[in-house]
């Protein structure tokens, strides 16, 4: 009676008909519930579209006489075009190196860009071809003429002109003399280091570069300086279609120059650079570059950073260790980063009709950026002797280098002294539109005296 049954159990199956709601065009049914947030956002959102494929025959960068047509401002349409040609380049070009920030807000994404210890060190940053967010512009200033009038280039130096007002330091000078031991030849088979010239988008004489490589990769690199400067010229001074061709990662001049260095073939390097210089000369002669500059009403942040970096590396970086000698808390020295200052200029609507004052201007970085990027009449005063001296040197270099880029600067005045005891600053504050001061380290008495100074500010003046 306890034995297993001799017959196998029977399994019964039954077909059941279930009603299913059909969806159209891939749209989920109403009872599917909300889609998870991670699935509701496209993976490509915020990503720039890939650059269009480009083919070229013969020279990839033959000059063209086609200029940008008159119409919408160049700056209003530049951002959309640039998003399509972002490049994947090694992040080694320096923007303006910083010892410290005078504001917590200045750090942001560039905290890692602080200049470390050591002489002539430079920071790692992105390529000069930056993402759209980093390559932004201020609001167009239609009252400012950015291009330098042609007659100013041909005007002979008159008696009484201050030669010290501007002083260009060539890249060549940064790798000669005491610095020569820190470099090795880019083309080791040559008996002497190869020296080349780069033509900028102006009638100014070209800048000289010695083709050497730093033994310490964090030092000033003339090859990077050359490459990234060419990128900015191609991006901002050439017609879009020609710019797109020259930025090609397969046949563009920058790629060809790097290939020549990699293959240790100096004739190729010289030929490619000479062809590029001829292209710039042609575009200057047929007024293509002039037309583009005349329709440009705002200087992009990436171009601003490139120029300021060149100025800083040639004047402050070789002696930057001197800036670490601080006497006391109230005279603590620090610098603000260009992207933060760009935001400040945007928030305060600073433009070429404004007056800007920096109380405690350090080496003059903000004053220089104001004069360059906005064209505003800019003043700065610094109590420490060493930063004040560097500020004067930076101003001389910027005046000369701005001519290379064919950019007309706003007036700059840099003073050495206390802003509490300067009659000139007292006068300027009465007409100032924007005043920058970092009073976080000041004592109570200094802040009180500073507030009394601000009583003379005009209605509507902005203090940051």
Residue 151, pLDDT score: 87
Q: What phi, psi does 121 have (nearest 5°)? A: -80, 155
Residue 381, pLDDT score: 97
Cβ–Cβ < 8 Å for 336, 369: no
* Residue 277, SS3 per DSSP: helix
Residue 312, pLDDT score: 96
Residue keyed to tokens 């500010």: 457
Q: Which domains, and CATH codes, for the chain?
A: 84-294 (no CATH), 333-463 (3.40.50.150)
Closest CA to 432 of 382, 384, 396, 380: 380
Q: What are the residue ranges in the chain where pLDDT is below 50?
A: 1-6, 26-60, 62-72, 79-80, 82-132, 134, 160-162
How buried is residue 200: exposed, middle or buried, by Cβ count under 10 Å (0-12/13-18/19+)?
Answer: buried
DSSP 149: P
- Spatial neighbors of 343 by CB under 8 A, at least 6 apart, are none
Q: How far apart are CA 437 and CA 446, in angstroms?
A: 12
- Residue 21 zone, left/alpha/beta (φ > 0; ψ -120 to 50; rest): beta
Q: How far apart are CA 410 and CA 170, in angstroms?
A: 23
Q: How far apart are CA 146 and CA 144, in angstroms?
A: 6
Closest CA to 220 of 121, 127, 362: 121
Q: Is the pTM of this model over 0.85?
A: no
- Spatial neighbors of 160 by CB under 8 A, at least 6 apart, are none
Residue 7, pLDDT score: 53
> Which element (helix H / strand E) includes 208?
strand 207-210
Cβ–Cβ < 8 Å for 244, 85: yes
Residue 115, pLDDT score: 31
DSSP 24: S
């Amino acid at each position: 009676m306890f034995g297993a049954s001799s017959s196998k159990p029977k399994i019964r199956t039954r077909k059941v008909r279930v009603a299913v709601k059909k969806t159209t065009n891939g749209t989920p049914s109403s009872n599917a519930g909300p889609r998870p947030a991670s699935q509701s956002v496209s993976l490509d959102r915020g990503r720039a579209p890939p650059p269009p494929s480009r083919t070229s025959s013969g020279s990839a960068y033959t000059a063209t006489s086609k200029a940008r047509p008159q119409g919408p401002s160049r700056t209003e349409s530049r951002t959309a075009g640039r998003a399509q040609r972002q490049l994947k380049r090694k992040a080694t070009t320096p923007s303006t190196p910083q010892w410290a920030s005078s504001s917590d807000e200045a750090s942001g994404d560039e905290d890692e860009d602080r200049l470390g210890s050591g002489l002539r060190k430079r920071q790692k940053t992105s390529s000069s071809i930056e993402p759209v967010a980093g390559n932004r512009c201020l609001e167009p200033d239609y009252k400012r003429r950015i291009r330098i009038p042609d007659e100013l280039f041909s005007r002979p130096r008159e008696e009484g002109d201050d030669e010290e007002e501007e002083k260009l330091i060539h890249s060549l000078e940064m790798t000669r003399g005491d610095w020569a031991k820190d470099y090795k030849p880019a083309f080791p088979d040559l008996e002497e280091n190869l020296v080349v010239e780069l033509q900028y988008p102006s009638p100014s004489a070209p800048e000289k570069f010695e083709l050497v490589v730093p033994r310490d990769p964090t030092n000033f690199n003339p090859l990077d300086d050359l490459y990234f400067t060419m990128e900015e010229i191609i991006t901002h001074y050439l017609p879009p279609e020609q710019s797109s061709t020259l930025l090609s990662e397969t046949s563009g001049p920058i790629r060809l120059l790097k290939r020549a260095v990699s293959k240790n073939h100096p004739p190729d390097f010289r030929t490619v650079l000479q062809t590029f210089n001829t292209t710039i000369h042609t575009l200057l002669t047929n007024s293509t570059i002039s037309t583009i500059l005349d329709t440009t009403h705002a200087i992009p942040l990436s171009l601003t950073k490139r120029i300021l970096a060149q100025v800083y590396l040639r004047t402050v970086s070789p002696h930057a260790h001197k800036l670490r000698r601080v006497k006391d808390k109230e005279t603590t020295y620090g610098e603000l980063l260009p992207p933060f200052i760009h935001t400040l200029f945007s928030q305060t609507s600073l433009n070429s009709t404004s007056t800007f004052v920096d109380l405690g201007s350090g080496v003059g970085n903000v004053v220089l950026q104001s004069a360059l990027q906005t064209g505003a009449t800019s003043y700065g005063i610094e109590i420490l002797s060493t930063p004040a001296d560097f500020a004067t040197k930076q101003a001389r270099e910027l005046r000369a280098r701005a001519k290379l880029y064919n950019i007309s600067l706003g007036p700059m005045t840099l003073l050495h002294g206390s802003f509490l005891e300067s009659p000139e600053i007292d006068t300027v504050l009465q007409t100032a539109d924007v005043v920058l001061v970092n009073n976080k380290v000041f004592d109570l008495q200094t802040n009180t005296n500073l507030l009394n100074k601000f009583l003379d500010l005009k209605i509507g003046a902005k203090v940051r």
